[in-house]
A and B are shown apart, each in its own frame.
Chain A
Amino acid sequence: MPDVIDADLVETILDMAHHDVLPRGACIEAMKIVQDRYGWICDRHLKQIADLLGMSLADIDGVATYYNLIFRQPVGENVIMLCDSVSCWVMGTDGVREKLCRKLGVKMGQTTEDGKFTLLPIVCLGHCDHAPAMLINKEIYGPVRPEDIDGIIEAHREKTS
């Protein structure tokens, strides 16, 4: 990961800032595009975005840490987000989680040693009619049963190897 954000991204961020009523209005988008390129938002990049938009660190980190989908720590190549809200809980998300943890050898919130997968909880994905639901990167799964896990994980492992 480079110390400073690539020049083309900086330009895009400044451009977004100019088009917003207040430059700070661009902060979420700015973090999204930086994360898209580097996988997560490191402290140095956060500071750089804050400076570009005239925000304090407290300010921008407040926004960053508010959103589940902005990562302030490194994540694996695949991010698995397992719903832990009510419908999914009723429909058996606990079993899926156990299976996932066992399969990947990590606890919730951790990344596998090979850096392939990060496992995170998430609130309702709006997929309650297919509970228990799970999101891997941008793909939604559901209903997921523990026995589906091996297949899903292996498929993703192959895709990113």
Chain B
Amino acid sequence: MATIYIDGRAVEARNGENLLQACLEAGTDLPYFCWHPELGSVGACRQCAVKQFQNADDKRGRIVMACMTPATEGAIISVDDPEAKEFRGEVVEWLMTNHPHDCPVCEEGGECHLQDMTVMTGHRERRFKFDKRTHKNQDLGPLVKHEMNRCIACYRCVRFYRDYAGGEDLGVFAQHNNVYFGRYESGTLESTFSGNLVEVCPTGVFTDKPFSKVYSRKWDMRGAPSVCQHCSVGCNTILNERAGKVRRTLNRYNEDVNRYFLCDRGRYGNGFVNAPSRLRSAGYVMDGQMTPVPVAQALEQFAAFAKDGPIVGIGSGRASIESNYALRRFVGADNFSTGWAEPLHGAVTRAVDILRTTSARVMPLHEMESADCVLVLGEDVAATAPRLSLALFQTRRTACNKLADKNRLPHWLDAPVRTLGSDLKAPIHVVTPAPTDMDVSATQALRALPDDIARLGFAIANRIDGAAPAVSDLTEEETARATALADALLVAEKPVIVSGTQYASTALLDAAANIAAALVTQGKAAGLTLVLPEANSFGVATMGGLSLDAVCERAQAGQVGTLVVMEADLTRQLDASAFDTLVRSVRHLVVIDHSVTPTAERGELVVPATAFSECGGTMISMEGRAQRFLQVVYPEAPLQVSWRWVRDFAHASGHEGVLDWETLDQAVAATAAGVPAFARIVEAAPKADYELEGEHIRSQTHRVSGRTAIRANISVRDIPPPTSPDTPLKSDMEGTYTTDMPATLIPFYQVPGWNSVQSLNKFQQEIGGELRGGDVGVRVIGERGTAGYAGVAPARMALRENEVLLLPEYRAFGTGETSMWSDPIKARATEAVIRVGGDAPVARVSIQIGAEVFDVPAVNDPALPLGVALCPPHMVARSYEAPCWVTLRTISAEAAA
């Protein structure tokens, strides 16, 4: 700690931080633009000028850029100094010379850092009398809008997009007043992280395109803390609502997980909650036609079904653990299924078992950023867990920072630190069957088939620790690869192993676990991460249950009276004939879901569940982090959260006493009590009766407008604000709101004078550190387990003569379930194409998976071995998800002209 003096006030600054950070942490409002807590300082905007004095006798001082000056012991600065103030005022004045002054029609308006800084510096009169320079805007695709005239040339966008996220297609052109931030030509931004530009840009140049279609000012929207539902990373988000509709998704800071950034699937994938695919009433389905019925009648119907034999429940990795537990409790543990078919069921179960017991550390994303060697084993992380790939990419920056330490440069001094490491690759070794987006930045990218990757993994573990299971008949090449990778991991201080369930291979998971365990025996602070298929796969697998195959068997044996499917689409797991057989062999199919899936279309009785924006619940991410999401929308009946449907079904069918939950708190408490592994989930967020300073926390801003007028077209009667027993947040503008409210309850970021997302600084104990309101989420796994080695290396993968090995090729956009009901993601997804190994040109193929034949566009990929093809899961064959052998026939070798 260093003591510095800001306008005569002694404050503590952290060693090595810069004066801007120190000022902000001391609560001083010092304007800035180009500095970003995660991107560091470049001194580009000159907005953070302060006066620095040599010593107590120095009365003149000199202007310095706070963001570029280290906070050294005894530093004396003045923010209020008239010259410094004038300087800052003039900076804004010149930044505004070409600005279009179009705040009323700008989507940044009301949450604009440029507006805030303009007001803060006191610039209010325009003296510049000349023409403004104007730019042409570009069409940057379905996600991000572009209005270049609002630019103040802070360079944040390119520094995020290129330096931080490794994007190549956004650049800066020309110079001086004409400087232009955009693409070489109009076209969709290629990065999976482009949406962050909306938050990174301090002005209205980059704004959220889908949001602009349902636009509302920030102050007019309700906010609620939420958790992303689109992969197992569990990024924290804020959902914004107005008039009953979710308007947009913003990043919510979680120190350990997503910090300042989301991926585009998470930011733009939530449109499904408003989509026409939503199910909005209960109904009977007959011949594909749904007849809506009142809830009471639906429940009676269920009671009648329940008399027809055993009830089996199918849970889901996209539903909360409370809902899953409710279903399991209702049908009984022996009649509860995870909803995964084999081999995925086995793989996810194994993965979660490993995560719970490994002797390595299951690292949160932020911790992995400082790894010095990463081995990615058979998982295309950039597609299955995008934000994780962004975190792993930061290992490159960690390597740069080490060079900076040698040269005694502070890490925040971005330009020199980045230049120092300009020829460094990220210390990442990728071993996957096919190319991944991480390859370009990685030190090396090796190709092998899933079983062979597992063999390699076993061999690496065995080289690190001879006690780990060995692999017989290794080829020379395999031995060389294993030795090189083992050596790379052994020289590292903080090696991290990353794998996942993409190829549904338990051998691969065992291999990854063995390497991590072997590194631990060598005294390494090794980390292990396994990517899971859905946002709450960890929760479901921990609870455990039957595989879908087991359910099918039982059904065929006539042992299933009613099958209750909750928030799952079985057609994504079972092929058409298996699904059909299942549906025909159960007496009744009941579906609880928020959207109309092909499974719901076959249901006899369907009831509408809330989407995650309309209810509260807990999800457990791939690192065992239990996180609570809260409702931002107050849904109208008959929509209710799945566990309430399960409870009502239980009551209707005479199972009183099994499930008597009235509130989310009761559901959480019962789940925590019922599944020992979940004991801590009660701590994931405060209960509904939580009050701060004697009041509830409000979820609307104090400026919200049209409070009574908004429904005047329906009725002019004043209606009371909606309430819900499931959230500690009040639905309206009454209530408290402070920067140190519990971190899990933050509904939006705003403090007086700071209306943009930059106000986050005020919610942190220190910049980039923990929130004032404490931790976000609790981990349900211990620090370290004691598991030893497991599994045996599989035999070398032999390709077949007449069949092709079809491997799932996940995509950031296109292979997700709920995100594909969201228009922006649909627009971003490209056509499904089969990539066929070998040199022979192909344009169209037919593939036979099981009994079904599909006719699909194809390209050949010489980087893949002959006899292997890649296919995006769920996009060609609905249920296709795990590797399998198929027959593939070339229909045409050349594209039709």
Question: What is the distance, in angstroms, from B418's C-beta to the closest C-beta of chain A?
Answer: 13
Q: Choose from A21, A58, A66 the contact partner of B168 (Cβ within 8 Å).
A: A58
The 8 A CB mask of B146-185 against A (1 = contact, 0 = none) is 0000000000000000000000111111110000100111
Contacts A66-B174, A66-B175 given: A58-B422 contact, CB under 8 Å? no
Q: Choose from A21, A22, A56 the contact partner of B171 (Cβ within 8 Å).
A: A56
Chain A residue contacts of B636, Cβ below 8 A? none
**B171 and A58 form a contact (CB under 8 A):** yes
**B184 and A57 form a contact (CB under 8 A):** yes
**B169 and A58 form a contact (CB under 8 A):** yes
**A58 and B174 form a contact (CB under 8 A):** no
Chain A residue contacts of B184, Cβ below 8 A? 56-58, 61
The 8 A CB mask of A35-53 against B (1 = contact, 0 = none) is 0000000000000000000
**B174 and A56 form a contact (CB under 8 A):** no
Chain B residue contacts of A62, Cβ below 8 A? 171-173
A21 to B422, CA, bound (A): 10
A139 to B213, CA, bound (A): 56
Which of the four size classes fits the interface of chain B? 10 to 19
A65 interface residue (CB < 8 Å to B): yes
**B423 and A61 form a contact (CB under 8 A):** no
**A58 and B183 form a contact (CB under 8 A):** yes
Chain B residue contacts of A61, Cβ below 8 A? 171, 173, 184
**A22 and B172 form a contact (CB under 8 A):** no
Question: What is the distance, in angstroms, from A65's C-beta to the closest C-beta of chain B?
Answer: 4
Chain A residue contacts of B171, Cβ below 8 A? 56, 58-59, 61-62
Q: Choose from B169, B173, B183, B423 the contact partner of A65 (Cβ within 8 Å).
A: B173
**A22 and B173 form a contact (CB under 8 A):** no
**B423 and A21 form a contact (CB under 8 A):** yes
A61 to B423, CA, bound (A): 21
Q: What residue in chain B is nearest A22 (Cβ atoms)?
A: B423
Interface SS, A side: helix
A56 to B185, CA, bound (A): 12
A148 to B185, CA, bound (A): 42
A21 to B184, CA, bound (A): 26
Q: What residue in chain A is nearest B168 (Cβ atoms)?
A: A56
A59 to B171, CA, bound (A): 6
Chain A residue contacts of B172, Cβ below 8 A? 62
**B423 and A59 form a contact (CB under 8 A):** no
Contacts A57-B184, A58-B169, A58-B184 given: A22-B422 contact, CB under 8 Å? yes
Chain B residue contacts of A56, Cβ below 8 A? 168-169, 171, 184
Q: What residue in chain B is nearest A61 (Cβ atoms)?
A: B184
A22 to B172, CA, bound (A): 20
Residue from A22, A56, A58, A65 with most neighbouring chain B CB atoms (10 Å): A58
Chain B residue contacts of A59, Cβ below 8 A? 168, 171
Chain A residue contacts of B183, Cβ below 8 A? 58
Chain A residue contacts of B423, Cβ below 8 A? 21-22
Chain A residue contacts of B185, Cβ below 8 A? 57
Chain A residue contacts of B175, Cβ below 8 A? 65-66
A53 to B564, CA, bound (A): 59
**A65 and B168 form a contact (CB under 8 A):** no
Q: Which of B412-444 contact A (CB under 8 A)?
A: 422-423
**A65 and B174 form a contact (CB under 8 A):** yes
Question: What is the distance, in angstroms, from A120's C-beta to the closest C-beta of chain B?
Answer: 13
Question: What is the distance, in angstroms, from A109's C-beta to the closest C-beta of chain B?
Answer: 12
A9 to B184, CA, bound (A): 24
Chain A residue contacts of B170, Cβ below 8 A? 58
Q: Which of A117-143 contact B (CB under 8 A)?
A: none
Q: What residue in chain B is nearest A123 (Cβ atoms)?
A: B176
Chain B residue contacts of A21, Cβ below 8 A? 423
Chain B residue contacts of A57, Cβ below 8 A? 169, 184-185
Q: Which of A1-58 contact B (CB under 8 A)?
A: 21-22, 56-58
The 8 A CB mask of B330-359 against A (1 = contact, 0 = none) is 000000000000000000000000000000
Question: What is the distance, in angstroms, from A10's C-beta to the closest C-beta of chain B?
Answer: 21
Question: What is the distance, in angstroms, from A70's C-beta to the closest C-beta of chain B?
Answer: 11
Question: What is the distance, in angstroms, from B139's C-beta to the closest C-beta of chain A?
Answer: 15
Q: What residue in chain A is nearest B422 (Cβ atoms)?
A: A22
Residue from B172, B180, B183, B184 with most neighbouring chain A CB atoms (10 Å): B184
Question: What is the distance, in angstroms, from B169's C-beta to the closest C-beta of chain A?
Answer: 5
A70 to B474, CA, bound (A): 56
Question: What is the distance, in angstroms, from A45's C-beta to the closest C-beta of chain B?
Answer: 14
A62 to B170, CA, bound (A): 10
Question: What is the distance, in angstroms, from A139's C-beta to the closest C-beta of chain B?
Answer: 24
Q: What residue in chain B is nearest A55 (Cβ atoms)?
A: B168
A22 to B185, CA, bound (A): 26
Question: What is the distance, in angstroms, from A12's C-beta to the closest C-beta of chain B?
Answer: 23
Question: What is the distance, in angstroms, from B189's C-beta to the closest C-beta of chain A?
Answer: 11
Q: What residue in chain A is nearest B185 (Cβ atoms)?
A: A57
Chain A residue contacts of B168, Cβ below 8 A? 56, 58-59
The 8 A CB mask of A62-99 against B (1 = contact, 0 = none) is 10011000000000000000000000000000000000
A65 to B172, CA, bound (A): 9
A59 to B175, CA, bound (A): 14
Chain B residue contacts of A65, Cβ below 8 A? 173-175, 180
Question: What is the distance, in angstroms, from B439's C-beta to the closest C-beta of chain A?
Answer: 14
Question: What is the distance, in angstroms, from A148's C-beta to the closest C-beta of chain B?
Answer: 29
Residue from A21, A59, A62, A66 with most neighbouring chain B CB atoms (10 Å): A62
Chain B residue contacts of A58, Cβ below 8 A? 168-171, 183-184
A65 to B185, CA, bound (A): 14
A65 to B168, CA, bound (A): 17
A21 to B168, CA, bound (A): 20
**Which B residues contact A (CB, under 8 angstroms)?**
168-175, 180, 183-185, 422-423
What are 8 inter-chain pairs, A to B, with CB distance below 8 A? A56-B171, A57-B184, A58-B184, A59-B171, A61-B171, A62-B172, A66-B174, A66-B175
* 5 tightest Cβ-Cβ pairs between the two chains A and B: A58-B171, A56-B168, A57-B184, A62-B171, A65-B173
| Given A56-B184, A65-B175; 10 other pairs, CB 8 A cutoff | A22-B423, A56-B169, A57-B169, A57-B185, A58-B184, A59-B168, A59-B171, A62-B173, A65-B174, A66-B173
